[in-house]
Structure 1
Amino acid sequence: MANAHNHAEASHGSVKSYAIGFILSVILTVIPFGLVMYPSLPKDMTILIVVAFAVIQIVVHLYYFLHLDTSPAQRSNVSAGLFTAVVIALLVGLSLWIMFSIHTNMMAK
């Protein structure tokens, strides 16, 4: 019973890992916010940077707060998350493709 309790505690992060995750999240939020509030780059570059920081922030949240990593205990969770991401990307991407195709075909007449 004591081993199960220790294993449950081992899967949770330490105060240090939560602090690192929080600091990274704040940095990954403040930089894009500053770029949008005080535009100094072209609009396309700003959008690209904001999207890149958003993707990096998702990875930070998954690693530091949800504790998803490549350990054997988390492999099934990571696999399920990747499968979900692929399905969502396909649904959104193909839906946008269909709507764009319909729009261009309707406007051609």
Structure 2
Amino acid sequence: MQPHSSNTRKLVTGFVLALALTLIAFAAVWTLAFPVELTFGIIAISALFQVAVHLHYFLGIDSKTPVENILAMAFAGVLIFLMVGGSLWIMFDLYERMMM
């Protein structure tokens, strides 16, 4: 029963951290308490920590298997690049089309 309990504790800890980081980003935008540049910085830092939390707590990335760690980090980097880059590409393209 002990390994199951520690695994559950690890998942719950990861969930709480992920939820807290998500709420930090939402609160920064919702309250409009900070300048736009600082709000973007808060969102970016929160997102980086969010990726680290997901890789460590949910995917089990640890120092036992360094090759798998590098592959997981590279895959996460490619996904982030595609999602952020694609989103920015779409937003700028829509902006250009609306300004015509």
TM-score normalised per structure 1: 0.62
Residue deviations 1:21-47, cap 9 Å, x none?
000000000011011011100000000
Pair 1:81 & 2:86 matched = no
Q: Which residue of 8, 26, 49 maps to 1:15?
A: 8
Q: Offset at 1:81?
A: 2.5
What amino acid is the match of 1:66?
Answer: L
Unaligned runs of 5+ in 1: 1-9, 96-109
Q: Tell me which stretches of 4 or more aligned residues in structure 1 moved more than 2 Å.
A: 81-86
Residue 80 of structure 1: how far off its partner (Å): 1.3
The corresponding residue for 1:55 is: 48
Deviation of 1:76 (Å): 1.7
* Number of residue pairs the alignment of both structures matches: 79
Aligned-CA RMSD value: 2.5
Larger radius of gyration: 1
Q: Among 30, 42, 65, which residue is 2:23 paired with?
A: 30
Gaps of 5+ in 2: 86-100
- Kindly provide the amino acid, as one letter, of the partner of residue 66 in structure 2: R
Question: Could you tell me the percent identity over the aligned residues?
Answer: 27
Select 2:60's aligned residue among 61, 67, 70: 67
